[in-house]
Amino acid sequence: MYYIDNNIFSFFLFGIICIFFVFVLLGIMFFLSTKNYEHEKILPYECGFEEFSSSRNLLDIHYYIIAILFLLFDIETVYLIPWCLNVILLDWVGFVVMFIFILLLLIGFVFEWSKGSLNWMNYE
């Protein structure tokens, strides 16, 4: 019989218990939920008003540009926070690398600002 490390076995056992628990809860929710599918309940929600147009209309591309820019500058914090927490442990190379990273982000921010991508007034 093969020897299984106790930590690996407990990890897989925990995963199996979690998956089982999820399926049990989903089953309970499915069987105990009410199923009143009235016409009013399945309509798309439009703030209490009648639909203005089809919900399948495409959005303007500028909304997607703003969303991508938000993600780009939001991901910066994912790299910046761990660096700030460990800046004492890093050598000068870590400081230079983070400085270059922030400089590249600043150049990208200035470029997007100069192109007018961050100005909402251009999109109406």
Please indicate whether residue 29 or residue 8 has the higher confidence score (pLDDT).
29
Instruction: Please say if the pLDDT value at position 19 is more than 90.
Output: yes
Q: How many CB atoms lie within 10 A of CB 65?
A: 15
| d(C-alpha 77, C-alpha 58), whole Å | 31
Q: What is the mean pLDDT of the chain?
A: 79
| d(C-alpha 104, C-alpha 21), whole Å | 46
Let me know: does 44 contact 55? Beta carbons within 8 Å: yes
Instruction: Please say if the pLDDT value at position 52 is more than 90.
Output: no
Please indicate whether residue 60 or residue 31 has the higher confidence score (pLDDT).
31
